[in-house]
Amino acid sequence: MNAQKQDWIKHKKDKILQSKNIIPLTKQIQSLPIIPAYLDTDNGVRINALDKDLAALHQPFINSIAHSLKPWRKGPFYVFDLFIDSEWRSFIKWQLLESHLHLENKHIADVGCNNGYYMFEMLKHSPASITGFDPSGIFKCQFDFINHFAQTPINFELLGVEDLSEYVKCKNQAFDVIFCLGVLYHRTDPIQTLKNLYRALENGGELILDTLIFDSELEVCLCPKVSYAKMKNAYFIPSISALQGWCERAGFKGFEILTLYATTPNEQRKTEWIESLSLESFLDESKKHTIEGYPAPQRGYFKMKKS
């Protein structure tokens, strides 16, 4: 990769990391102690200390940094004796997907990776590489906090889905599997987003897609007027047939429904690790509709190929 291309990635990264709210967090993470540990995943990502006395000595400092990194959306994480009870119990989604995955020796991308929770889960499948993409400085800091102790080879790029094609050209390496979980309905250009994902895959590569779904047999899409479940950045929520059409327009083949699953407060709820409300406050009394009057959230999980 030549210097000009390296500068493009570095410029985007530096611009985010030099934000006023991110600089002090980065310094805190850099001050974390070295504590020998190992990673485990069992209904959450767990960092277990090899030297429990050393971990106990530094636990208050570790806890204070974790709290400064709120809000924790994805998780949960266990860092020695600290339990980070995230808004989402992300292992529920992972357990729905895991039996459908073939990740061994694959080059994997997680687009919209948040703090990297799912990437830590992927490690036990022995992939060739894992690269996460998310342009959020706070999510990168959360990832760095966990990975400081986990010491994994996961690569986190402060780039968005719109940067994928250029990134693949720069690295001269496309991906065998791309995860895009909970991103598509936040995009104002869903078909272009799918095209970007398609271009970043190797021929024969797979896309694992999770998105909100509108319950209709027609090829239609819910376009919330102002917000959906208080999300102002939810733009297009397609029916399954509409989504399949989008994916085929982007070039994908072999569109497969893995599972459909209603989001409930068991999976997404308010905890002390976020500073805002959560799903239960965004539904009406019946729990069948959002407070705006739209159908309550239902997610679809899909797999498709580039051929």
* 110-157 pLDDT tens trace: 999 999 999 999 999 999 999 999 999 999 999 999 999 999 999 999
CA distance 244 to 190: 12
What single DSSP character describes residue 43? S
E-assigned strand segments in the chain: 37-41, 45-49, 77-79, 82-84, 107-111, 129-133, 155-157, 175-181, 201-212, 221-222, 237-238, 253-262, 298-305
**What value does the mean pLDDT of the chain take?**
97
User: Within 10 A of 34 (CB to CB), how many other CB atoms are there?
Assistant: 10
pLDDT tens digit string along 247-290?
999 999 999 999 999 999 999 999 999 999 999 999 999 999 99
| Residue 174, φ and ψ in degrees, nearest 5 | -85, 175
Q: What is the mean pLDDT of residues 47-54?
A: 98
So what's the pLDDT on residue 6? 66
CA dihedral 253, 258, 259, 260 (to 10 degrees): -20
Q: Domain containing 233 — which CATH number?
A: 3.40.50.150
* Residue 251 DSSP SS3: coil
149-158, 163-172, 194-203: range with lowest mean pLDDT = 163-172
Number of domains in the chain: 1
**DSSP for 65-106, written as a single string:** HHHHT----S--EEETTEEE--SB-THHHHHHHGGG---TT-
pLDDT tens digit string along 9-26?
888 999 999 999 999 999
Range(s) of the domain holding residue 40: 3-305
Q: Which helix (H) or strand (E) holds 17?
A: helix 3-17
- Which CA distances in Å does 158 have to 110, 131, 141, 143? 12, 11, 11, 11
So what's the pLDDT on residue 10? 87
Predicted TM-score of the model (pTM): 0.96
